[in-house]
């Protein structure tokens, strides 16, 4: 009789927990949500988070507050979310660095695929090879020739170790044999500031943070890093037109701490997919050179795994390593 009562009690507790989780997801969010971006304001990650975050705030009736936590090639922000309560009130702007860092960094305190649950994809964008407007080279071939003729004079900026911007440049170095000194910054915005002034000479930046400067003529686009040209920069060739087999792109999404309730993840996924389907949002992302990544949390999880495997090969090929 006692064991029967215990069993009934356990069933009741489980049912209560189930109802509690369902109710929690139905009411979610009841307070502001913190969306962590591992870079300073102004870069592609920050631009996308603020764009989508504003619409989430409007649709769900609670503020999605962007919190910039730069440092260690995106790892500082990522680690803060890994260690946050898995209640849906702290989420992460997932980006290529999360896939790259798994093999680039010798020691990490977390396993990204294990410790962060995929929520939804946001967008995939090209990177673009940009130089100051008065740089001597006007094509990729001219850039390669200049770099080889002027060893030690070309500094390559990036938004930090482990970013797609960094690895796009490392792949270029490995495939062309040019020597460039990597200069990591704490984000795209400060790197572009030095690129505009000529303190550094080249950057393989995410298109959303570079395209306004390209259109204004303050930076010169030599090539996009994707296999085909971008509709937003139709006159700009691909790196692969000159360096056969070269291809790289950046992808972005939302993640949450592992063990975040699935109903909460599903609700966020549903809302983000609805936002990405809005004509105005599609237009804004297209103007930044991107395409939307609509899909389930599982779909985004597959992208994370495949990109982690892809960039592991690039890291090994380039011989890059951060201790």
Nearest CA to 119 out of 83, 92, 142, 155 is that of 92
Kindly state whether residues 81 and 149 are assigned to the same domain. Answer: no
Provide the residue range defining the domain that includes 232: 126-241
d(CA 57, CA 31): 11
What CATH number is attached to the domain comprising 69? 3.40.190.150
**What pLDDT does residue 224 have?**
97
The answer to the question of residue 323 being in a domain is no
Last residue within a domain, chosen from 224, 241, 258 = 241
Angstrom distance (rounded) from CA 254 to CA 69: 15
Q: Is residue 118 part of a domain?
A: yes
pLDDT confidence of residue 127? 94
Say yes or no: 156 and 176 in one domain: yes
Task: Tell me, rounded to whole angstroms, the distance of Cα 28 from its chain centroid.
Answer: 26
Transcribe 157-198 into DSSP letters.
EESSTTSHHHHHHHHHHHHH----EEEE-SSHHHHHHHHHHT
Q: Is residue 303 part of a domain?
A: yes
pLDDT (0 to 100) of residue 321: 81
Residues (pLDDT < 70) of the chain are 1-24
The total number of structural domains in the chain stands at 2
Q: What is the pTM of this model?
A: 0.83
| pLDDT for the residue 20 | 46
Largest alpha-carbon pair distance within the chain?
A: 88
| pLDDT for position 128 | 97
Judge whether 117 and 265 are in contact, CB under 8 Å.
yes
Please check whether residues 236 and 132 belong to one and the same domain: yes
pLDDT of residue 17: 47
Q: Quick one: how many helices (H) and strands (E) in the chain?
A: 12, 10
CATH number at residue 145: 3.40.190.10
The answer to whether residue 169 is domain-embedded is: yes
Q: How far apart are CA 49 and CA 312, in angstroms?
A: 26
Number of other residues whose CB lies within 10 A of the CB of residue 309: 12
1 located within any domain: no
CB atoms within 10 A of CB 26: 9
Same domain, 201 and 301: no
| Residue 150 CA to its chain's centroid (Å) | 33
Query: Cis bond leading into 29, ω under 30°?
Result: yes
Specify the pLDDT at position 26. 83
225 & 269 share domain:
no
Q: Are residues 113 and 140 located together in one domain of the fold? A: no
Please identify, among 241, 269, 299, the residue that sits at the C-terminal boundary of a domain.
Answer: 241
Which of the listed residues 211, 241, 271 is the one where a domain comes to its end? 241
pLDDT of residue 23: 47
User: Do 280 and 180 have their domain in common?
Assistant: no
Same structural domain for residues 45 and 192?
no
* pLDDT number for residue 6: 52
257 and 116 in one domain?
A: yes
């Amino acid at each position: 009789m006692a064991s029967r009562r215990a069993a009934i009690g356990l069933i009741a507790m489980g049912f209560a927990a189930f109802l509690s989780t369902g109710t929690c997801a139905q009411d979610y969010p009841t307070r502001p949500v913190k969306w962590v971006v591992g870079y300073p304001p102004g870069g592609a990650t920050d631009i996308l988070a603020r764009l989508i975050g504003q619409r989430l705030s409007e649709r769900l009736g609670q503020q999605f507050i962007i919190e910039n936590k730069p440092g260690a090639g995106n790892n500082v922000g990522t680690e803060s979310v890994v260690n946050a309560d898995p209640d849906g009130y702290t989420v992460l702007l997932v980006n290529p660095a999360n896939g790259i860092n798994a093999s680039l960094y010798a020691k990490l305190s977390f396993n990204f695929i294990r410790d962060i649950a995929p929520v939804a994809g946001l967008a995939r964008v090209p990177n673009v090879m940009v130089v100051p407007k008065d740089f001597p080279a006007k094509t990729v071939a001219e850039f390669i020739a200049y770099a080889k003729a002027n060893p030690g004079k070309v500094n390559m900026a990036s938004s930090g170790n482990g970013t797609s911007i960094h690895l796009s440049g490392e792949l270029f170095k490995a495939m062309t044999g040019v020597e460039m000194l990597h200069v990591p910054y704490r984000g795209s915005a400060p790197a572009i500031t030095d690129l505009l002034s000529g303190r550094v000479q080249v950057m393989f930046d995410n298109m959303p943070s570079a395209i306004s400067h390209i259109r204004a003529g303050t930076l010169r686009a030599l090539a996009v890093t994707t296999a085909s040209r971008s509709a937003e920069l139709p006159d700009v060739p691909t790196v692969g037109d000159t360096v056969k087999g070269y291809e790289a792109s950046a992808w972005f999404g939302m993640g949450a701490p592992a063990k975040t309730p699935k109903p909460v993840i599903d609700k966020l996924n549903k809302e983000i997919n609805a936002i990405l389907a809005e004509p105005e949002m599609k237009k804004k992302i297209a103007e930044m050179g991107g395409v939307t990544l609509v899909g389930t949390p599982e779909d985004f999880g597959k992208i994370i795994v495949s990109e982690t495997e892809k960039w592991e090969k690039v890291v090994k090929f380039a011989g890059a390593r951060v201790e």
